[in-house]
Amino acid sequence: MTIHKRGIYDVEGELEKLGYDFDALIDELVYQISNLGVQWEYNDEAFRGFIVGGETGWTAEEILMEAENVGMDLEEYKLDEED
């Protein structure tokens, strides 16, 4: 089954059109994923999306501060300056 995106994709509306209780389905999915006891297959992509995503993503300052907090050497990630 393929659901094509047109304009703004309304996942809640699409799931309800398919006959699902959106809130109950998502709540159970989150519960099941969080209780797997293993790293979720898409964990890295999801966390990346959380960090850089839209209006709720972190600011550049917050990203740099967290990188320092976890002990990253930020100099390794600086772009080379061209003369």
**Are residues 27 and 43 both part of a single domain?**
no
Tell me the pLDDT tens digit for each residue of 19-65: 998 888 888 877 776 777 666 667 777 877 778 776 677 888 888 99
Question: pTM score, two decimals?
Answer: 0.50
pLDDT value, residue 5? 46
Q: How much of the chain is helix, strand and coil, in % rounded to 5?
A: 55, 0, 45
Range of the domain at 16: 7-38
- What is each CA distance from 9 to 13, 22, 27, 66, in whole angstroms? 9, 14, 20, 32
Rounded CA-CA distance 42/2 in Å is 20
Rounded CA-CA distance 30/24 in Å is 10
Neighbours of 39 (CB within 10 A): 8
Quick one: 29 exposed, middle or buried, by C-beta within 10 A (0-12, 13-18, 19+)?
exposed
pLDDT value, residue 38? 64
Residue 30 belongs to a domain: yes
Average pLDDT over residues 4-14: 69
Residue 19 belongs to a domain: yes
Residue 78 belongs to a domain: no
**Are residues 26 and 43 both part of a single domain?**
no
